[in-house]
Every structure is written in structure tokens, then in C-alpha cells.
Structure 1
Amino acid sequence: MTEPVIHVAAALTTDVDGRALMVRKHGTTVFMQPGGKIEPGESPLTCLRRELLEEVGIDLPAEAFTWVGTFEEDAANEPGHRVLAEVFSVTVDATAPVAAAEIAESIWVDPAEPGDIDLAPLSTRALLPLLAR
């Protein structure tokens, strides 16, 4: 049987020092890139801009984002599901993001050595390695 797929938009968000922004939702232990589920009729970039504003208070124009690609991996917080992520990169200034909505915590990590934190499969296997190169 095929695992259900959750279609999301995610931001590979870095600061000027190359650190990656990771977020953790309330009631979970896993850190991942900010983003969220794409609503019906919504473009991936529109979804991502909405989610960044809701989750971490980042409000940037569409032109600030660069398309990275589509990635599929095991879902971090929904066992038995896969996540299909439309990924964009964006660089932001060092202003601390403000965790809001369903986000409990946000941190900046070195993509090559994120430290001793629980990471989503998509982050570990696909996204952070892109930045660590």
C-alpha cells in the first residue's frame, strides 16, 4: 500500500553567515525547515510566504526566493506518511525570527554540523546537505 503524501512548501532559510534556520512545532522534538501545507488553489511560493510570516515573522517579497527543487522523504511528525516538499531558498538578515503560531522554538544551525538535535528526515537527507557543500 502506498503511504499518503503531504504536499508542503519549505524554506531553505540561511543568514549571511550560512547558518540554516530550523523550527520545532509545539508538542514535537523534531526540527525542520520552516514552511507548511499548501492549501487548495495556492501556489507553493504563496504558501511559503504565508507560512514564514505566520510561523517566524519573516515577510519577504516573492523576488527574494529562489526555486531549489521538489524533494520527497518520510514525514517527521506524521508516521506512515511521506512529505513532498516544494523547496525555495532565501537569505535573511541576522534578525532573530520570532516563533509564533504552531512553532515552539526556532534556532540557527551550522548545516555541516547541526549539533545534537532531532532533525526531520527531509532536513537530514536532502536539505542541509545542499547547504553544507
Structure 2
Amino acid sequence: MDDTIDKIAWIHLDDGKILSTRSRGKTVYYLPGGKREPGETDLDTLIREIDEELSIAIVPTTASHVGTYRAQAHGHADGIIVQMTCYTAEHHGVPTPSGEIEEVTWLTYADRDRVSPVDQIIFDHLHQTGHLH
């Protein structure tokens, strides 16, 4: 049995802040994105999930791989790992909460303790490289 949750996430930075989302009924923030469906490429998943969660269109030709990060999955049994493959990409539209998303917000490195474990690793990387303030 595979104990890894395969997820794709969109990293959208602006002026040292990162766009983050909170699902209905949750207290922890996550980078926008989600799980791959059978047969989907990373780009397919990114486009579908960001449209579902934020009602915006990712520009496929601008997608760029930032990194792939692994950590204990938040809210799952010990040993269940989430693997988050992250991309930046330009978009059309204004990010608006949709579907299960209740809140869209801009976070800084000071908000690190408010995000999931894998997002904390991503926050650390972006902070160390000077992208997240």
C-alpha cells in the first residue's frame, strides 16, 4: 500500500506574501491545489484544482516547477506522507473562494505556524531563498 498522498500546489507570490486558502470547517491554511485524478498530468491537475478552488484560469505555458516537498500529512495517521509538487504560473481572473474553500488570504513567513506541515517546509524554502518575507 502506498502511504503517500500525491498533491499539486500553486505558489502565487506577491510582494513577499503567498496566496493561501482555508477550507470550510478547517483551521489550518493550505496552498491552493489538490490531488491528481487518474490519468492527469501535473499541469492538468493544477489547472483543474485552481479553477475549482479559486475560479481563475492558470496560463498553461507559464507554469514552472518550483520544487517537490514531502512531510507528514496533516490530520492523517502517522506515516501517511503528503508529497506536494509546486508550480508557479500566471493566471487570469481574481482569486475568489469557490467549492470547499471558505477563505483566500495572503500570508507571510510570520504565519508559518498557521499552515500544514508540508506548507511549513515550503514556507521555509521560500523564506530562505528571499521570496517570502
TM-score, structure 2 as length reference: 0.83
Paired position in structure 2 for 1:20? 18
User: Residues of 1 paired with 2:49 and 2:98: CA distance?
Assistant: 10
User: Residues of 2 paired with 1:92 and 1:130: CA distance?
Assistant: 23
User: Residues of 2 paired with 1:52 and 1:114: CA distance?
Assistant: 22
Q: Percent identity?
A: 29
SS at match of 1:32: coil
CA contact (8 A) 1:10 1:87 kept: yes
Q: What is the aligned counterpart of 1:61 among 41, 50, 59? A: 59
Unaligned runs of 5+ in 2: none
Q: What is the aligned counterpart of 2:111 among 103, 110, 114? A: 114
Higher mean displacement: 95-104 or 50-59: 95-104
TM-score, structure 1 as length reference: 0.83
User: Residues of 2 paired with 1:27 and 1:41: CA distance?
Assistant: 30
Letter in 2 for 1:130: H
Q: CA RMSD in A?
A: 2.2
Letter in 2 for 1:118: R
**Does residue 123 of structure 2 align to residue 128 of structure 1?**
yes
Unaligned runs of 5+ in 1: none
Shift in alpha-carbon separation, 1:65–1:38, aligned structure 2, 3 A: same
User: Residues of 2 paired with 1:11 and 1:103: CA distance?
Assistant: 15
Aligned residues: 127
Letter in 2 for 1:122: V
User: Residues of 2 paired with 1:79 and 1:23: CA distance?
Assistant: 23
Paired position in structure 2 for 1:87? 86
Instruction: For 1:10-49, list aligned pairs within 5 A.
Output: 10-15=9-14, 17-49=15-47
TM-superposition CA deviations, 1:22-63 (whole Å, max 9, x none): 111112111010000001100011101111111012202112
Shift in alpha-carbon separation, 1:77–1:106, aligned structure 2, 3 A: farther
